[in-house]
Amino acid sequence: MNVIILEPSFPDNQKQFARALAEAGATVIGIGERPKDGLDDDVRGWLTHYEQVASVVDDDSVLRAVRWVQDRLWVDRLEATVEAHIMTAARVRAACNIPGTSVRTAHLCRDKPAMKQVLREAGVPCARSTGASSAAEVRAFAAEVGYPLIVKPPDGAGASGTHRADNADDLDAVIAASGVDRGATVAVEEFITGHEGFYDTITVDGRVVHEFVCHYYPNVLDAMRTRWISPQFIATNRVDSAVGYDEVKAMGRQVIEALDIGTSATHMEWFSGERGLTFSEIGCRPPGVRAWDLYAVGNDLDIYREWAEAIVHGYPKRHASRRFSAGIVAIRPEADGVISGYSGADEIQRRFGDLIIDAHLPAVGTPTQPVEAGYMANAWVRARHEDFDHLRFVLDEIGRTVTVHAQ
């Protein structure tokens, strides 16, 4: 099988997709923005050919490169694994008659109001939402639905660019911050309260062959707005044994079917609260924040290879062991500025060193990153344990004990 992969080198874990495809027996062709001599030796070894383009989100550039490849060999698949690349890949597939995620599916997985409209029609419980391109439309939705509301980019990922409004004064500030009063298009939806988590899969022709469930502590919007919180998410190893996950898995399958997601990785977010289980959003690509690393460690699995096996052969190579729960805790600097030192790290190593998978403690003198930059923007620690509840305790202790000093 001949597979083109978009941007095989950036971000850094992208090269694992190229590796896995090569190990699964595919002939791998890369299309990316960096020069060929900028590829590392491993990537060069996994790729049979590489084409540089000006931008991997420019349809015309990618289309020319793909057609150049097609003039020389049959292309079975064109794959993209980064959210920003999904639509370009889908449109180029359609233009070049290459199987894979359709333009319709890619659009519905990017445009949140359109996504939720389709899912509501399919019977999936969703927050009420709409697309808006003026302040008047946002205010009209607020008058109909009430507060609190969320305003965010229609194709945003995670909490990026997301604002909450609890009243009319908040909404005025959110309208200004979002740019909708200056012509920007936004998604507006009612704010759903409850515990937040995510459900990730690898699917083959719409059939789930791998599935994983993670929990956020606290919910993402709070985590990305509050400095003193050391937020975490944990991939549970109770997916198959706890009855409570049956509803999450059933909803995930319903969403995959309604959006016609075929052979792909998926990343779906959900809420569980007073209204029961509620769908939040889905992407037809792997999760960010290197969540797949946690799935690999927790399940004795090369998750990248499993994705490649789905693409190349249409079935999984191994099954998830569910041996460990695995999670990450982000540790924010105490202030913006430059990192001046750490306290508590030695104690954590002494107490939990045998449970720690890896850690990132930026060197003294490193500029800090904003709180809203995400879980891996500053310091973080990843750990695993056979018992989910004990792992929560461990990650809580790490977050309470380690301090990143900055000035």
Within a domain: residue 229?
A: no
Same domain, 206 and 300: yes
pLDDT computed for residue 376 by the predictor: 96
224's tokens: 């990305």
Of residues 157, 145, 158, 154, the one with CA closest to residue 178: 154
Q: Specify the residue for token string 């519905």.
A: 108
Same domain, 198 and 143: no
Within a domain: residue 376?
A: yes
Cα 190 to chain centroid, rounded: 22
Same domain, 145 and 210: no
Give the amino acid at 123: G
Of residues 282, 218, 221, the one with CA closest to residue 248: 282
Same domain, 261 and 342: no
**Separation in Å, CA 217 to CA 196, 232, 274:** 8, 5, 18
Same domain, 331 and 287: no
Of residues 362, 354, 314, the one with CA closest to residue 337: 362
Q: Which residues of the chain have pLDDT under 70?
A: 155-160
pLDDT computed for residue 160 by the predictor: 66
For residues 245 and 135, what is the distance between their CA atoms, to the nearest angstrom? Answer: 40
Within a domain: residue 118?
A: no
Domain extent at residue 151:
128-190
The CATH number of residue 24's host domain is 3.40.50.20
pLDDT computed for residue 311 by the predictor: 98
Same domain, 281 and 356: no
Same domain, 161 and 69: no
Of residues 354, 367, 356, the one with CA closest to residue 398: 356
Q: Specify the residue for token string 């690999």.
A: 296
Same domain, 298 and 277: yes
Same domain, 9 and 96: yes
Within a domain: residue 204?
A: yes
232's tokens: 């975490």
Within a domain: residue 70?
A: yes
Same domain, 147 and 185: yes
Same domain, 204 and 281: yes
pLDDT computed for residue 97 by the predictor: 98
Q: How many structural domains compose the chain?
A: 4
pLDDT computed for residue 159 by the predictor: 60
Domain end (from 293, 318, 343)? 318
The contacts found for 83-88 with CB under 8 angstroms, 24 or more apart, are 83/110, 83/157, 83/283, 83/285, 83/288, 84/57, 85/6, 85/7, 85/56, 85/57, 86/110, 86/283, 86/284, 86/285, 88/6, 88/56, 88/57, 88/58, 88/59, 88/62
The CATH number of residue 170's host domain is 3.30.1490.20
Domain end (from 318, 338, 363)? 318
Within a domain: residue 157?
A: yes
User: Which residues, at least 6 apart from 12, have a Cβ–Cβ distance to it below 8 Å?
Assistant: none
Beta strand residue intervals within 80-146, DSSP E: 129-132
Q: What are phi and psi of 53, to 5 degrees?
A: -130, 160
**Burial category of 25 from C-beta neighbours within 10 Å (exposed 0-12, middle 13-18, buried 19 and up):** exposed
Same domain, 198 and 296: yes
Give 166-175 pLDDT, tens digit per residue: 999 999 998 9
Within a domain: residue 149?
A: yes
pLDDT computed for residue 158 by the predictor: 55
Within a domain: residue 174?
A: yes
At residue 364, the 3 state secondary structure works out as: coil
pLDDT computed for residue 125 by the predictor: 95
Q: What is the DSSP letter of 334?
A: S
